Amino acid sequence: MFENFVVEDIDVGEAIIHVRHAGRGKAVLLLHGHPRTGATWHRVAPALVELGFRVVVPDLRGYGASRGPAPAADHAPASKRAMARDLVVVMDALGIGRFSVAGHDRGSYVAYRIAMDHPRKLTRLALLDCLPIVEHLERTDAAFATAWWHWFFFAQPEIPERVINADPDAWYDGDAHQMGQENYEEWRGATRNPDVVRAMVEDYRAGLTIDRRHEEADRAAGRKIEAPLLLLWSLGDDLEQLHGNPLEIWRRGWALDASGHGIHSGHHMAEEAPEALTAALAGFFGEA
């Protein structure tokens, strides 16, 4: 994976962020979701480099080979604000002042927070399989709670770690052929690490508490994403089925300039539909 990429660990103060990067040209930051590592982008990142982009692929704080501080009662160390700050420091360390971001799943919330907290750093934003956390929670009904029950399970104190760490291979199901063998092995190693598991569920605890409050504060203040926004969603997943057209939700209250469409894929589109995703991202980021 990631042939000719530089691999390094960057100290950002309260965390150590594991990063792969390569290429020249317009800078693009690619953020993974749960329970993946940056390796989920192994089919997309090299293709973007070939198309003339400079590509940076980190493991989020606490995920994969990145490490962060111990959890806290308010879950602030796992907040998307803290993760966004990590990545701005990473990009500064690499000499990149302005950049575009694509975030998938949990990484999309980090990408959103970069857009809100560091707008001068951002040129363009792509959010994959994403609605604001508060929009999900305010639409919660039996269908959503049944399909996305893990949000509420992970929010419980201590119980998720005990359950997952008892048999992580059974809990986290992955297909080595679909994922790619090296990506699969990296992901499997991470999911077997109790520290990573703890960080991943802390991510969700933060989502329902401090991250939600940050989004509510954005909305109350009338703050919106200023950068052009591309929204992509997996047609084989359930986001649209649960909430309708996600693009309409983003346009109504969260973004000044939003476009987007569905992609024929399951949830992990960087692994399942890399050609379509690469084309969409390259076209959008190339306009910056």
Reduced to 3 states, what is the DSSP secondary structure of residue 37? coil
The b/e string for 159-196 (b: 16+ C-beta within 10 A; e otherwise) is ebbeebeeebeeebebeeeebbeebbebbeebbeeeeb
Q: How many CB atoms lie within 10 A of CB 280?
A: 20
Ramachandran angles phi, psi of 133, nearest 5°? -55, -45
Is residue 267 annotated as a catalytic residue, yes or no? Answer: yes
Instruction: State phi, psi for 3 to the nearest 5 degrees.
Output: -60, 135
DSSP code of 157?
A: S
Catalytic residue among 34, 118, 243, 267: 267
Could you say which of 59, 105, 129, 218 is catalytic? 105
Distance CA 45, CA 234 (A): 19
> Read out DSSP for 192-229?
T-HHHHHHHHHHHHHHHTHHHHHHHHHHHTT--B-S-E
What is the distance of C-alpha 84 from the center of its chain?
10
Q: Where are the beta strands (DSSP E) in 12-80?
A: 16-22, 27-31, 54-58
CA separation for the pair 10, 29 (Å, rounded):
15
- Phi first, then psi: give them for residue 96, nearest 5 degrees: -110, 110
Q: Are 256 and 225 a contacting pair, CB within 8 Å?
A: yes
Q: What are the residue numbers of the active site?
A: 105, 267
